[in-house]
Amino acid sequence: MASKAKKMSVDYSSNPAVANFVEYLRIPSVQPNINYDDCVNFLQKQARSLDLEFNVYKVVPKKPIVVLTWVGQSPSLPSVLLNSHMDVVPVFEDSWTFPPFSGHIDKDGKIYGRGSQDMKCVGIQYMEAIRKLKKAGVSLKRTLHLSFVPDEEIGGVDGMRKFVHTPEFKALNVAFALDEGMASPTEEFIIFYGERSIWQIHVHCTGQPGHGSLLFPNTAGEKLRFIINKFMTLREEQKSILDNDPKLTIGDVTTINLTQVHGGVQSNVIPEKLTVVFDCRLAVTVDHEQFENRIKEWCKEAGEGVTYEFEQKNDKIECTKIDETNPFWVAFKSTADKLNLKLECRIFPGGTDSRYVREVGIPAIGFSPMNNHTPVLLHDHDEYLSADIFLKGIDIYVKILTAVANA
């Protein structure tokens, strides 16, 4: 009881790092149509307090990319990028216990706010780790760049995807990157070294229109059923593979979900066209050409007038090496071992900005130091992060950043 009372008495709001975190959470940088000015002003203030270089790159109007830089002892060496995104997903405020942009800290030290896990916490942890290192008089060999990017939650098209192809990004001379991971409900920290390829496919089925009381051949509905059956059968096969192998996680298989069906004019008219949309996440082991050829064959088998197009089609991107050939991973892993951190390496189930960094040949690791039974609440109601986990994450980054910057 005494230890519990002691925990309850901690005033986390007086902690400067927590105060910075709460201030950042209170900026409603929520999709869509975000005004990023308050984020930029907040980050500029932090850069001044840390005596870091501060730059804003405007690759797309109203979509600023903020970069804070701590120049290393050997600035000619390739640098390390610490990436996070400023935007957060929408909220259903009536379903929250506390206002989602209040940064409320409850009696148990839980910090509530949209972005508390995804991923304003990590951006602040980077900065606070650097604050501790500088206060301790530590100098690092490599330069650290802290990037705060827009629009990750809507695909990063006007953010990291474009930024990595600019002269400004190339001038950063990045050799390794850290980005977001995910909370862990166990003692293990989850490390992500790759991502599945996102394919969002629209299949258009055309056919004989007519009166709804008749049985015309060659209708759009018959073709639609054929296509749906093919995709959903493959879905069941992948689900069976996942369910029957406890060593696998969702990132190890291809997921397929029917997300939209469009078409028709009214209930008694056979439509001339129906469209079905599938969200597919291709496992890193999938041959992209073979997978698309399978879709082509299904459309051909479904009948005349069945075509497909892509809303999104990610290229196959090589996973980051997590072995002795990657000196940054060696530095990361050896530090984690010294800290007795239990790591579980996985393929990320969704999509992050890491895929764009890897696409230009830079190894990247997804890591958010949130474990110890932290529930996964990204995009959920009542998103929170416990203050003690947040502060512990800063100390972990102190060691990790030192290791990778001196690799």
pLDDT one-digit tens code per residue, 119-161: 999 999 999 999 999 999 999 999 999 999 999 999 999 999 9
**248, 259 contact by CB (below 8 A):** no
What pLDDT does 244 receive?
98
Instruction: For domain 197-283+285-313, give its CATH number from 3.10.20.30, 3.40.50.300, 3.30.70.360, 3.30.930.10.
Output: 3.30.70.360
What pLDDT does 45 receive?
98
pLDDT in tens, 55-92: 999 999 999 999 999 999 999 999 999 999 999 999 99
Q: Evaluate if residue 279 carries a pLDDT over 70.
A: yes
- Catalytic positions, please? 87, 152
**67, 57 contact by CB (below 8 A):** yes
List Cβ neighbours of 402 (8 Å cut-off, separation of 6 or more): 133, 138, 140, 335
Percent of the chain with pLDDT over 70: 98
Q: Evaluate if residue 8 carries a pLDDT over 70.
A: no
Q: Evaluate if residue 9 carries a pLDDT over 90.
A: no
What is the CA angle 224-226-230, rounded to 5?
115
pLDDT in tens, 187-225: 999 999 999 999 999 999 999 999 999 999 999 999 999
Q: Evaluate if residue 1 carries a pLDDT over 50.
A: no
Neighbours of 406 (CB within 10 A): 16
Neighbours of 214 (CB within 10 A): 9
**366, 271 contact by CB (below 8 A):** no
Between strands 79-85 and 174-179, the pairing is parallel
**392, 369 contact by CB (below 8 A):** yes
pTM, 2 dp: 0.92
**396, 339 contact by CB (below 8 A):** yes
What pLDDT does 7 receive?
46
**CB-hemisphere CA count at 13 Å for 368?**
28
Q: Which amino acid is at 112?
A: Y
**CB-hemisphere CA count at 13 Å for 157?**
6
What pLDDT does 38 receive?
98
Cα(376)–Cα(398) distance, rounded to whole angstroms? 24
Between strands 273-282 and 197-206, the pairing is antiparallel
Q: Which residue has the tokens 């890193």?
A: 284
Which part of the chain is CATH 3.30.70.360? 197-283+285-313
Which part of the chain is CATH 3.40.630.10? 2-195+319-405
Mean pLDDT of the chain: 96
Instruction: For domain 2-195+319-405, give its CATH number from 3.10.20.30, 3.40.50.2300, 3.40.630.10, 1.10.460.10.
Output: 3.40.630.10
pLDDT in tens, 284-318: 999 999 999 999 999 999 999 999 999 999 999 99
Q: What is the DSSP string of 187-214?
A: SSEEEEEEEPEEEEEEEEEE---EETTS
Q: What is the mean pLDDT of residues 259-264?
A: 98
Choose between 13 and 34: higher pLDDT. 34
**31, 154 contact by CB (below 8 A):** yes
Cα(344)–Cα(402) distance, rounded to whole angstroms? 22
Residue 407: its H or E element: none
Q: Evaluate if residue 3 carries a pLDDT over 50.
A: no
Cis peptide before 32 (omega within 30 of 0): yes
What pLDDT does 255 receive?
98
Q: Which residue has the tokens 């005004």?
A: 35
List Cβ neighbours of 218 (8 Å cut-off, separation of 6 or more): 207, 208, 303, 304
Q: Evaluate if residue 2 carries a pLDDT over 70.
A: no
What are the start-end ranges of the H helices in 250-318? Answer: 288-302
pLDDT in tens, 323-382: 999 999 999 999 999 999 999 999 999 899 999 999 999 999 999 999 988 999 999 999
